[in-house]
Amino acid sequence: MAMCGCATNPVTGEEELRIISTQQEVEMGGRIDVQVRSQYRAVTGTPEAVRVETIGAKMAAVCDRRDIQYHFALLDSAELNAFAAPGGYIYVTTTLLRAVGDDSELAAVIGHEVGHVAAFHSVHQMQRALGWDIMKALILEDRASQRATNAADIAFNKVVMTGFSRKDEDQADDLGVKYSAKGGYDPYGMGRFFVKLGQLQRENRANKAFEFLMSHPNTESRRQRAEAEAAKYARTRK
């Protein structure tokens, strides 16, 4: 498989180094999905699961990156969480689903996670976390090799479960507002979600392991940013 080089980021329009190909990213996401489903029970066929899948499909349809198939799953978990794996795998827990209000809030949360994938945040982190030797193995060795499995383990622990940089989170917040608005939802849903998240923090019910909090805990500043971003789209809806 040929090595990748510079590619245009569909969100920013800027050229960036991309060593991992789309095929490798999707394969890695599939391996991580197996790990996620071994740790959590996926809820299927219920109205709640259908709600996540339906809103997720709408976010995927309007996002900046559409060269992959997105997958949305509801996980039965007491954790308040939502997270994204490489290759378009998006997860929402049942506890988070109960915490959000209307569909616009859920669309903002899912749109945020889709934004991580669309802007290649997971790929950037994988390239930094895996190291050149493992990257070369992914590119040159058999897809079913132990190295590829080890790489998926590293990606799961160091990329999926450790959060993103503050810069990436800011961009994903903006994209969550953008995609929810483009999908026909109230763009102020993100701001309302941050109000609830702030209340959960004050009640010590929002663990710092929650992806939305790991690298960017100031929910009030994020609420203000989200509402300012939402105002741009609210004007065009009138």
Confidence of residue 150 (pLDDT cuts 50, 70, 90): low
Measure the CA–CA gap between 20 and 182, rounded to whole angstroms: 29
The residue among 145 and 8 whose pLDDT is bigger is 8
Mean pLDDT of the chain: 85
Strands 71-76 and 89-93: parallel
Confidence of residue 20 (pLDDT cuts 50, 70, 90): confident
DSSP helix/strand/coil, 131: helix
Mean pLDDT of 66-92: 95
Structure tokens at 105: 């809030």
* Contact yes or no for 198/210 (Cβ under 8 A): no
Angle between the N-to-C axes of helices 189-202 and 219-237, in degrees from 0 to 180, rounded to the nearest 10: 160
**pTM for the whole structure:** 0.88
Burial class (CB in 10 A: 0-12, 13-18, 19+), 173: buried
Mean pLDDT of 92-115: 96
Residue 152 has pLDDT above 80, yes or no: no
Predicted confidence at residue 135, as pLDDT, reads: 58
The Cα angle at residue 234 between residues 228 and 178, in degrees rounded to 5: 70
Closest listed residue to residue 59, CA positions, set 2, 5, 115, 105: 115
Mean pLDDT of 11-36: 90
Residue pLDDT, tens place only, 168-221: 999 999 999 999 999 999 999 999 999 988 888 777 766 655 666 655 557 888
Predicted confidence at residue 56, as pLDDT, reads: 98
User: Which percentage of the chain shows pLDDT scores above 70?
Assistant: 79
Residue pLDDT, tens place only, 49-77: 999 999 999 999 999 999 999 999 999 99
